[in-house]
Each structure stands twice: as structure tokens, then as C-alpha cells.
């Protein structure tokens, strides 16, 4: 095994730029980002109904619960759609051979794609949350602005986790169609099935949930599992950053270990580990 060659920033940058330009023009991505913006605008108008019992642009903190529920669904879809074909698509099409014969290493290609696709998501998140946040700040005052900025940052980390995951799928799959299947499966597991199974376990282990009481009080292990999965970690990050105790009308009693720090750590691990796994997978692959 020869020593690893140095990392050429110029090559990473060239790949990132091409990837950004190629995808920022994609109709799918523009459409989904537009939908994200439209939905955040809607919830920032009606969102306060959940916390304050009235409509209108009331404040940044009031809107967050609604924005979280939209972002938790849409951001993973955006990230997975952007990244699932990044490697396997070029491989199937044939452009990957020429790319890798250029003065660029496989590590630089994966990093460049991660940065380029990540930048597209950053633009989408900033557009979606920035516009709504700006309107609220102007109409209802900038109270909670610091927390809102932290929330935007957390959303970006949450988004990057799915780019990393998508890149991993893209190096594991031998065909584009397999990668699509894996992406759909990943989304279902992470965004739908995991919470359902966890709630089932909670009930099966003798837990009870009283909708009428209006209080959510899960045992600690339910929160521990939720923190370990990106959409829930993201949701709790937003709640704790704003210090909210109510979401969708329920009073949430969080255990002490659920903090912005630990949820952000979980999201960061979900970004870095799949990315490293993708690099490791791709490094010695025969093309």
C-alpha cells in the first residue's frame, strides 16, 4: 500500500463547483426548494396557532415547531435526491472513468461532491428558512434571533447528514436503480418506520400515552433512541435551542440529557460517519 497522496484543494474545489452548477439548475431540486420555502411561509403564518392559539406572524420561537415538521420530511428527501446518483450515476453513464483519469484522487472526488451538493442544500435551506425568518423578524420583532440562527445552522447539519448518507448509497450501489431503491428505503426507515417501531416498543413495554392529558412524558430510553436518529435529533435540537416546552399542543418534559449539544453531536456523527464510509468504499473499487 503506497502512502496517501496529498489532498489537492484545487481539485476538490473544481469538482465541488461543477457539482454545484450542475445541480443548482436541476428542475427537481429547484422545485423541491420552492416547495420548502412555500411551506415554511405557510407555517410561519399559521404556526403560532399551535403555541399561542392565534394566527399571524407572531415570533420566531412560535413558528419553529411547524418548520421542524416540514424540514424533517423535506430536507432528507432533498439530500437523498441530490446525492444518490452522484457516484453511481456517473459510473453507469461512463463519465466517471474520464473524471478519475484526471489529476484528481478518489478522496477528492467524494469530498468535492459532498461540498458541492452540500452547498446546493445550504442554498435551499437558507432560502427556505431565511425568507420566512426575515419576514417574521420584520413583522413581529427579532426576539429569539440568536436561537433562530442556531436553528438554521442545525438544519444545515441535518441536511448534510443526508448528503453523506446518499453518497454512501451511491458508492455501495452498482446501479442507479439500486441506489434509488436504497434511498427510498433509507428515507422510510429514518423518517417513518423508526419512530413507529419505537412508539410500538414503548407501548409494548407497558408505556401509556394519554392524548387528552396533553403531556408527553416518555421514559429516558425512548429519548435516547430518538436522539440517535437524525429527524428526531433535529427536532429536539430545535426545541432545546428555543427552550420550548410545548409542541403541537403537547407539553413535552424532556430529560436533562436532551440538549442542543448532544443532538448536534448526533447529527454531526450522522454526517461524518457515512461520508468516511463512502470514501473508504470508493477508494479501492474497480471501475
Partner 1 sequence: MSADPALSVDHLAKTFDGLRAVDDLCLSVRRGEIYGFLGPNGAGKTTTIKIILGLMFQDAGAVRIGGRDLAKDPHEIKRRIGFLPEHIAFYNNLTALETLQFYAELKGAVDEPLLDHLEAVGLRPFADEKVGTFSKGMVQLLGIAQTLIGDPELLILDEPTTGLDPNWARTVKDRIQAANERGATVFFSSHILGQVQELADRVGIVDRGKLIAEDTVENLGRRLDLKPRLRLTVEESLGAATRAVSNVEGVVSVESSGAELVVLCDRAAKARVLGRLEAMGISVRDFRTEEPGLEEVFIKLTGARRSVR
- Residue that is written with C-alpha cell 449539544 in the block: 261
Binder among 30, 41, 104, 252 for partner 1 (CB under 8 A): 104
| Binding track over 265-284 against partner 1, x by CB under 8 A | -------------------x
C-alpha to C-alpha distance for 48 and 50, rounded to whole angstroms = 5
Interhelix angle 106-140/27-46, nearest 10 degrees = 30
β-strands 250-252, 246-247 pairing: antiparallel
Which stretch, 3-11, 45-53, 205-213, 264-272, contacts partner 1 (CB under 8 A)?
3-11
At its nearest, how many Å lie between partner 1 and the CB of residue 175?
A: 16
C-alpha to C-alpha distance for 223 and 258, rounded to whole angstroms = 8
Is 27 a residue that touches partner 1 (CB under 8 A)? no
Is 101 a residue that touches partner 1 (CB under 8 A)? yes
Is 139 a residue that touches partner 1 (CB under 8 A)? no
Which stretch, 15-23, 77-85, 142-150, 230-238, contacts partner 1 (CB under 8 A)?
15-23
C-alpha to C-alpha distance for 43 and 45, rounded to whole angstroms = 5
Q: Per residue, what are the HEC states of 52-103?
A: HCCCCCCCHHHHHHHHHHHHHHHHHHHHHHHHCCCCHHHHHHCHHHHHHHCC
C-alpha to C-alpha distance for 220 and 111, rounded to whole angstroms = 37
At its nearest, how many Å lie between partner 1 and the CB of residue 29?
A: 12
Of 9 and 251, the one with the shorter C-beta distance to partner 1 is 9
Count of residues that interact with partner 1, criterion CB under 8 A: 28
Which stretch, 29-37, 102-110, 120-128, 211-219, contacts partner 1 (CB under 8 A)?
102-110
Collapsing DSSP to helix, strand or coil, 2 comes out as coil
Binder among 105, 178, 259, 268 for partner 1 (CB under 8 A): 105
Binder among 42, 55, 95, 184 for partner 1 (CB under 8 A): 95
Of 93 and 215, the one with the shorter C-beta distance to partner 1 is 93
- H helices within 173-284, ranges in order? 176-187, 194-204, 220-227, 230-242, 260-283
Q: Give the DSSP H/E element, type plus range, for residue 210.
A: none
At its nearest, how many Å lie between partner 1 and the CB of residue 89?
A: 10
Radius of gyration of the chain (CA): 20
The Cβ of residue 261 has, within 10 Å, a number of other Cβ atoms equal to 11
Q: How many residues appear in the chain?
A: 287
Which stretch, 91-99, 179-187, 191-199, 201-209, contacts partner 1 (CB under 8 A)?
91-99
Is 97 a residue that touches partner 1 (CB under 8 A)? yes
Is 245 a residue that touches partner 1 (CB under 8 A)? no
Is 10 a residue that touches partner 1 (CB under 8 A)? yes
Is 18 a residue that touches partner 1 (CB under 8 A)? yes
C-alpha to C-alpha distance for 284 and 90, rounded to whole angstroms = 17
At its nearest, how many Å lie between partner 1 and the CB of residue 177?
A: 18
Residues at the contact surface with partner 1, assessed by CB under 8 A: 2-3, 5-6, 8, 10-11, 14-15, 17-18, 21-22, 25, 93-95, 97-98, 100-105, 284, 286-287
Amino acid at each position: 500500500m503506497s502512502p496517501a497522496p496529498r489532498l489537492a484543494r484545487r481539485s476538490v474545489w473544481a469538482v465541488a463547483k461543477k457539482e454545484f452548477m450542475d445541480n443548482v439548475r436541476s428542475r427537481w431540486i429547484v422545485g423541491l426548494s420552492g416547495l420548502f420555502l412555500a411551506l415554511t411561509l405557510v407555517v410561519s403564518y399559521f404556526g403560532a396557532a399551535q403555541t399561542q392559539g392565534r394566527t399571524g406572524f407572531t415570533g420566531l420561537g412560535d413558528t419553529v415547531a411547524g418548520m421542524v415538521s416540514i424540514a424533517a420530511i423535506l430536507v432528507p428527501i432533498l439530500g437523498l435526491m441530490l446525492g444518490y446518483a452522484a457516484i453511481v450515476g456517473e459510473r453507469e453513464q461512463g463519465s466517471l472513468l474520464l473524471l478519475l483519469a484526471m489529476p484528481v484522487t478518489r478522496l477528492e472526488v467524494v469530498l468535492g461532491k459532498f461540498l458541492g451538493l452540500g452547498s446546493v442544500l445550504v442554498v435551499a435551506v437558507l432560502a427556505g428558512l431565511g425568507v420566512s425568518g426575515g419576514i417574521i423578524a420584520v413583522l413581529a420583532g427579532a426576539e429569539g434571533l440568536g436561537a433562530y440562527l442556531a436553528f438554521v445552522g442545525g438544519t444545515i447539519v441535518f441536511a448534510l447528514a443526508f448528503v453523506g448518507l446518499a453518497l454512501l448509497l451511491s458508492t455501495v450501489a452498482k446501479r442507479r436503480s439500486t441506489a434509488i431503491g436504497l434511498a427510498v428505503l433509507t428515507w422510510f426507515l429514518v423518517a417513518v418506520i423508526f419512530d413507529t417501531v419505537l412508539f410500538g416498543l414503548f407501548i409494548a413495554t407497558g408505556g401509556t400515552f394519554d392524548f387528552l392529558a396533553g403531556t408527553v412524558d416518555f421514559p429516558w430510553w425512548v429519548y435516547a433512541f430518538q436522539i440517535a436518529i437524525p429527524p428526531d435529533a433535529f427536532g429536539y435540537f430545535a426545541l432545546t435551542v428555543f427552550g420550548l416546552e410545548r409542541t403541537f399542543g403537547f407539553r413535552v418534559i424532556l430529560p436533562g440529557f436532551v440538549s442542543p449539544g448532544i443532538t448536534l453531536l448526533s447529527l454531526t456523527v450522522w454526517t461524518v460517519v457515512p461520508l468516511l464510509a463512502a470514501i473508504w468504499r470508493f477508494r479501492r473499487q474497480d471501475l
